[in-house]
């Protein structure tokens, strides 16, 4: 059964407050690299910078993700 799309609200995005907080950080990551398109790497970098109370950040912690190593790899600054 197909559902009609949810109409966009001009007042706020249809995201949780946690998701809304990631978007500005992702845009900042994109701008810091001189990028013109927001990509998954920018979103992941923003999630890695999230507070430990954020559900996505908690999931990364439970998975044993080394945040600083992941940031270095995503930014292409690892020494390998």
Residue the block writes with tokens 């007042």: 11
67 pLDDT tier (thresholds 50, 70, 90): confident
Q: How many CB atoms lie within 10 A of CB 18?
A: 15
0.75 surpassed by pTM: no
At 18 the pLDDT is: 77
Mean pLDDT across the chain, nearest whole number?
A: 80
With contact defined as beta carbons under 8 Å apart, do 23 and 47 qualify? no
With contact defined as beta carbons under 8 Å apart, do 46 and 29 qualify? yes
């Amino acid at each position: 059964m197909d559902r009609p799309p949810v109409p966009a609200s001009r007042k706020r995005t249809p995201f949780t407050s946690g998701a809304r907080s990631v978007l500005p950080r992702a845009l900042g990551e994109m701008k810091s690299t001189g990028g013109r398109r927001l990509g998954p790497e920018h979103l992941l970098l923003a999630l890695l910078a999230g507070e430990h109370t954020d559900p996505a950040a908690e999931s990364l912690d439970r998975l044993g993700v080394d945040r600083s190593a992941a940031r270095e790899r995503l930014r292409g600054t690892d020494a390998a």
